[in-house]
Structure 1
Amino acid sequence: MAHPDVDTVMTAIDQLLAGAMDEEQMPVAAETMRRLFNGSKACFTSIGPDPEDWVAYATNPDDALQEHFFGELAPEFAEMGMALRGIPLGEVYKDHQVLGVEPLRRSRIWQEWMQPQDMYGGMACRLAEKGQAFWFFDVQRGRSQDSFDDQDAALLRKLYPVLRRVVELRRHIGRVTIQRDEARGALDRLALGIAILDAEMRISYANEGADEILAEPDGPIGLRQGRLYARQPGDQRRLRQLIDGALRLSRDPLANHQASMILHGGDGGHSLSACIMPAAPSPALHRPHGLVMIALRRLETASDIVACTRQLFDLTDTEAKFASALASGLSLTEAAVAQGVRISTARTHLARIFQKTNTRQQSQLVSLLRSAALPLQPR
């Protein structure tokens, strides 16, 4: 049987590296390896005692069989995996040499997984391990095909360093992806608009809160040709100054910088507060002028002062309701009437609220309560 030339092998390596950088390309990389070895099936698999260790990137994946693999057959695969742990990393082996032909053919893995996919003779090698879990690459040939020969084994041994690097990169990038998604999810839960801008005020990232604010047709801030802009000319000039100041601060931490401003709506009213600061540098982006982060917050009274004050200041339900009445504009006497208590009781409530909120005057308390909003988006 003819063996692949150098160009074919190099093309396979290119596809393997593409799979390392992009998980969606891993099945394509497995298919490339299947063709390289003229196999019936190829697969990159992680296996271990913990279900979180189980991963498989295979050629021609069958959804029903994949579900069977991660479901009823999982204990058998885990047990087989333990039998392979004694094989050194990079050593090429064949299924029947390790497991025995008859024991393998009697197993559920053979009868319910391998045989239905025409996997009659496998060649594999272990690629990497972490604790009890490990990755391996496996390529199979069908019932009507010749078995793998010494040249096939030699080629797989030569490819081992590349295959090992692929799974190490895939594992590392997978962790980074999870961390990125967790961070984005957390930012989307904030009742703040968070956006990252470059020096030209182009958006490179925006959380859900920022997307909502920027999409408001008559809001105080929006996008024009992909760049952030304030609708009021005076606000636009001030916003540009603050962004330039944040960029200077990223180059010189000792530079003076005023970080915040109020953005006005179409009617001239106060609609948004904006805080601008340097963003953490990202070596991968290679931006010579740096990035800035802008945090946008709507200026509005908290929608549920009772719930907010209970959680933020540890007020009792009665104290929170009394505080909410004061924040709505009622006088102490009016709040006492509304709550059905004597003025002396109202003064006792007010004294406890002052103590818990670290305020001393009713006007100070009302100002605090009107801005007391939990920084989370309602779900």
Structure 2
Amino acid sequence: MSGPSVDAVISAVDNLLAGALDADRMPLAVEQLRQLFNGSKACLSRIGPNMTAADSVSTNSDEAMQRRCYEDLAEDFVRLGETLRSVPIGSVYRDSDLLGEETLRASRPWREWMAPQDMYGGIACRLAETGSSSWFFDVQRGKNQESFDAAEAALLGQLAPLLRKVTELSRQVGHLKLQRDEARGALDALAMAIVIVDRDLQVSYANEGADEILSDPEGAIGLRQGRLFARQPSDQRQLKRLVEAALRSATDPLEEHRSSMIVRGSSDGAHALSACVMPAAPTRPGEAAPAKVMMALRPLGMATDLVVSSRQLFNLTESEARFASALASGLSLTQAAEAQGVRISTARTHLARIFQKTDTRQQSQLVSLLRGAVLPLRARA
């Protein structure tokens, strides 16, 4: 058969490179590879222990067949993968030559998975090895099609170096995405709002807590054309200075600078919050200064369950926690005793035990500690 056009090969290559950076575009690239070889099915995947559907991009996918591959036939495919380990990385092979025609046709993967999908003869290339797993590209021909010829095997050999690089890049990008998603999940779980901005206060990331603050139309801080802005002009200027100072401190940690401020929602202090700014990443000698900073936002006067927090953080009893919460709310010792319905002598006993468990000696120290003793996790519905 005549070979594919140059334009078809270039288009397939372009989409492979795009698919390495964006997994959503990889199915199109694999489909174009199938068409290059006039195949019945093509697949770019990993074979090895604990393989899942996420490790494979294939054409003409059938959900029922995919489940069979990664459930009922998983052990058979793992054994097949062990056979593939004898093939040098980058080498093109015919599955029938590698396994033997009779052995291949007698195997469960062929009888129960390949044959039902009209996969009667293929060429493949082993691309990478990770532990006990192998990554490979495979393209098949149907029962009524001619087998692959030497020119088509040579074409796959020419594409093999690119396929290897694409596979490696895809794995690296996937790992980075996993790390990013895990980091974002951890930031979203924090009770503290986290925003990452550049020198111009352009927001590149905001966790769930920050989204709530920035979407409040009456809040102290909001968004305007993607940039962070404070409601009060004087606070906006100060916020900009904090960001500039944080960026300078990344390269000169000895420079003294202010890193936090109170941002006011209105002149009477309503909706006020605290903002603490720090470099988004540390720098090493010779490295360029980071272009972004991380900002931690926390509403002042935020309602919190001090009883729960103090019990979990300081191992207080229920009675001690309620008493500590009353003191943290601003009540005096006498007022706290009256609010809890206990004698002043009992209140003093509670206070002594609380001092011991919180390692404080004065009521003012205790109150200051308790007001900051908020469990740093967001409540989930």
Aligned to 1:322: 323
* 1:1-379 equivalent positions in 2, closer than 5 A: 1-51=1-51, 55-269=55-269, 271-280=272-281, 290-339=291-340, 341-379=342-380
Post-superposition CA distance 1:253-300 (Å, at most 9, x none) = 343310110011225216200011222279xxxx99822221101112
The one-letter amino acid of 2:165's match is R
Q: Is the 8 A contact 1:48 1:54 kept in 2?
A: no
Q: Tell me how far apart the structure 1 counterparts of residues 8 and 222 of structure 2 sit (CA, whole Å).
A: 51
After TM superposition, the score normalised by the length of structure 1 is 0.92
The one-letter amino acid of 1:377's match is R
Query: What is the percent sequence identity of the aligned residues?
Result: 61
Aligned length: 376
Structure 1 window deviating more from structure 2 (328-337 vs 144-153): it is: 328-337
After TM superposition, the score normalised by the length of structure 2 is 0.91
Q: Tell me how far apart the structure 2 counterparts of residues 54 and 254 of structure 1 sit (CA, whole Å).
A: 48
The one-letter amino acid of 2:313's match is L
Secondary structure in 2 matching 1:197: strand
Q: Is the 8 A contact 1:198 1:292 kept in 2?
A: yes
Post-superposition CA distance 1:293-314 (Å, at most 9, x none) = 2110111255211110122223
The structural deviation recorded for 1:87 is 1.7
The one-letter amino acid of 1:344's match is S
Q: Tell me how far apart the structure 2 counterparts of residues 308 and 100 of structure 1 sit (CA, whole Å).
A: 67
The one-letter amino acid of 1:248's match is R
Structure 1 window deviating more from structure 2 (132-141 vs 362-371): it is: 362-371
Q: Is the 8 A contact 1:202 1:228 kept in 2?
A: yes
- In structure 1, runs of 5+ residues without a counterpart are none
The one-letter amino acid of 1:32's match is Q
Q: Tell me how far apart the structure 2 counterparts of residues 51 and 289 of structure 1 sit (CA, whole Å).
A: 38
| RMSD across aligned positions (CA) | 2.3
Structure 1 window deviating more from structure 2 (234-243 vs 134-143): it is: 234-243
Post-superposition CA distance 1:314-365 (Å, at most 9, x none) = 3233322221232234443444455455543432221121122232222332
The one-letter amino acid of 1:363's match is S
Secondary structure in 2 matching 1:256: coil
Secondary structure in 1 matching 2:234: helix
Q: Is the 8 A contact 1:46 1:136 kept in 2?
A: yes
- Residues 39, 213 of structure 1: alpha-carbon distance in 2 compared, 3 angstrom cutoff: same
Q: Is the 8 A contact 1:262 1:272 kept in 2?
A: yes
- Residues 310, 192 of structure 1: alpha-carbon distance in 2 compared, 3 angstrom cutoff: same
Q: Tell me how far apart the structure 2 counterparts of residues 202 and 331 of structure 1 sit (CA, whole Å).
A: 45
- In structure 2, runs of 5+ residues without a counterpart are none
Secondary structure in 1 matching 2:57: strand
